[in-house]
Structure 1
Amino acid sequence: MLGQLIRFGMVGVANTGVYYGLYLLFLLRLPYVAAHVLAFVLSMIGSYFLTTWFTYRTRPSWRTFLLFPLTNVANFVITTGGLYLLVDVLRVGSWFAPLIASAAAVPVTFAVSRMIMIRPGAEAVGGQAA
């Protein structure tokens, strides 16, 4: 599980970079919440494929693709609420606030994604329990 957590972190860093780049791009034309939502959805699709192939070393399937957004529900709620709190309440700049808000969601997202991507009793590569 430690390997999965490390790979999850690596995917998270890459996904955060994609999200943040898209967010900044969309922020040029959209209000910050709209930029956040659009960037979040697009980066989540890329994150699904990285999570299946790299983190858990499984094949993509319609089942996991359709369930994967559940892994991001808590992430979305935490980051969106955190973004609002940071920008509108604490007056943190809207360019930097998403990075801070994202950090709080990592442990919850890992736990939920692991439950969805790996079925109970599944074996990892090499015959060790996932």
Structure 2
Amino acid sequence: MTVQAQMVRFALVGLVNTGTYYGCYLTLLNWLPYVAAHVIAFGLSMVGSFFLTSYFTYRIRPTWRKFVLFPLTNATNFVVSTSGVYLLVDVAHFSSRYAPLIAAALAVPITFIVSRTIMLRPEPAVRERDPERIPQA
């Protein structure tokens, strides 16, 4: 699969993730305060996003290691988009109404690179208990 195909799939997963988050948030809002609804919906959508990213975007087997590292993609997106909003509004004098949309679009390629690095990184070799044993190639 080409990098371009992975990027398209990554963007599609992002759209599904956003819809999942918002649907969960609105549903949970019926029973919980908005902050609790946001946190739970965010967590659920991130777990779903991890599995979609594994199976659909990169077509790899998910691992615990990748699952633990996956939130770094969301942190990257947050930092890049927040910095972008600031730069667009305060430095470039864009409208604060549209700046988040532009910043989010600019964050996608950077977030994709971080995601690709985490998800396609080879797993570390498992150490054998018997030091005399020769690893199989």
SS in 2 for 1:60: coil
Aligned match for 2:75, one of 54, 66, 73: 73
Question: Which amino acid in structure 2 is aligned with residue 44 of structure 1?
Answer: M
- In structure 1, the partner of 2:11 is 9
8 Å contact from structure 2 (residues 9, 56) kept in 1: yes
Q: Where does residue 125 of structure 1 map in the other structure?
A: none
Structure 2 segments unaligned to the other structure (5+ residues): 86-96, 123-137
2:104 alignment partner AA: A
Matches within 5 A, 1:1-130: 1-28=3-30, 29-31=32-34, 33-76=35-78, 103-104=104-105, 105-119=107-121
State the distance in 2 between where 1:27 and 1:80 align: 25
Contact 1:75 1:102 in 2 (8 A): no
Q: Is the 2:82–2:103 Cα contact (8 Å) retained in structure 1?
A: no
User: Residue 108 of structure 1 aligns to which amino acid in structure 2?
Assistant: I
| Equivalent residue letter for 1:19 | Y
Q: Deviations over 1:97-121 (max 9, x none)?
A: xx9599354333212111101127x
Task: For residue 78 of structure 1, report the CA deviation from its aligned partner.
Answer: 6.5
Instruction: Figure out how many residues of one structure are paired with residues of the other and give that number.
Output: 106
Structure 1 portions without partners, runs of 5+: 83-91, 93-98, 121-130
Structure of higher CA gyration radius: 2
Cα-Cα RMSD: 3.1
State the 4+ residue runs in structure 1 displaced beyond 6 angstroms: 78-82
